[in-house]
Structure 1
């Protein structure tokens, strides 16, 4: 298995970075994970802004040379892992800008007759590891599960990715947030992952 980890947090002195370290550590102990790449969107200084004009058309995003290396990473990966905080009930603008550009028509999906397009990323799987200040069940109880619906139905299923696993960790700014236990849970999951 080849795994791409996309880390989206502004700095490394953070709980999100601790989750990244535990994912890397667990993955290196896992004989099923043969290769691992990490993309740190902030460190990479990824530009999340969409720009369309006469020279740069939306219909050509799937061949935009400025983001070719990121398309190659997605094509290469069997499993894509996203690490990010949930801010205002959804992922950060940096990650959404990455998604806007990379999950483009004729790369991630292809329009066809009928209601739904053809997903072009079939066979891949996704794990979303997200943190939030509020309680774990806040997105489900107050936001009608908007985060998972956005990521799974509106994005991943749309592009053909059916296997999606979520870890939504709440109370992460609390001294009673069980951060160590949650880090250990992530380490164990990635050390035993087999598909």
Structure 2
């Protein structure tokens, strides 16, 4: 199983980075994971801004040479792991800009007759590891599960990815937020995951 880890947090001395380390540590010890690649969007200097004009059209993003490296990573991966904080009920703008550009028509999906397009990323699986300051059930109760709906229904299902697992960790700025227990949970999951 080829695994691509996409890390979206600007601080390498953070809890999010500790989660990244546990994902990498568990994955490196997992015999089911053949190869592992890391894409740190901030360290990479990824430009999340969409730029369109008469020379650069949105419908041509699927063949933009500046994005070829990232398209190749997604094509290569059997499993894609996203690690990010939840800010204002959704992933950071950096990650959303990556999604806007990479999950483009004629690469991630193809329009066809009817309402639902054809997903072109079938057979892949996704794991989302996210952290938030508020309680874990805040997003479910107060925001009607907006984060999962955005990621699973509006994005992954749309592009043909059906197998999606979420780890949403709340109270992460709380002294008693059980951070060590949650970090160990992520390590154990990635050490054993099969598909």
Q: What TM-score, normalized to structure 1?
A: 1.00
Q: Within 1, Cα distance between the matches of 2:22 and 2:168?
A: 16
- Residue 11 of structure 2 is aligned to residue 11 of structure 1: yes
Count of residues paired in the alignment = 195
CA distance in 2, matches of 1:133, 1:11: 16
Match of 2:170 in 1: 170
Question: 1:41 deviation in Å?
Answer: 0.2
1:76-91, aligned counterparts within 5 Å?
A: 76-91=76-91
SS at match of 2:44: coil
State the alpha-carbon separation in 2 of the partners of residues 183 and 34 from structure 1.
23
Q: Distance in 1 between matches of 2:138 and 2:44?
A: 31
Question: What residue is the counterpart of 1:124 in the other structure?
Answer: 124
Which residues in structure 2 correspond to 1:70-149 (within 5 Å)? 70-149=70-149
In structure 2, C-alpha distance between the alignment counterparts of 1:185 and 1:2, rounded to whole Å: 21
Residue deviations 1:3-45 (CA, integer Å, cap 9, x gap): 0000000110100000000000000110000100000000000
**Consecutive unaligned residues in structure 2, runs of 5 or more:** none
Structure-1 separation of matches of 2:78 and 2:61: 22
Secondary structure, counterpart of 1:43 in structure 2: helix
Cα distance in 2 for partners of 1:19, 1:173 equals 14
Other-structure match for 1:60: 60
* CA distance in structure 1 between the partners assigned to 2:74 and 2:7 by the alignment: 14
* Whole-angstrom CA distance in 1 between matches of 2:20 and 2:34: 18
Equivalence for 1:179 = 179
Output the CA distance in 1 between the equivalents of 2:11 and 2:72: 25
Hey, what's the Cα distance between the residues in 1 that align with 2:194 and 2:112?
Answer: 34
Instruction: Map Cα deviations across residues 120-174 of structure 1 (whole Å, 9 max, x no partner).
Output: 0000000000000000100000000000000000000000000000000000000
State the distance in 2 between where 1:47 and 1:11 align: 17
Counterpart of 1:156 in structure 2 is: 156
**Ranges in structure 1 where 5+ consecutive residues have no aligned partner:** none
CA-based RMSD of the aligned residues comes to: 0.3
**Structure 2 Cα separation of the partners of residues 68 and 194 of structure 1:** 28
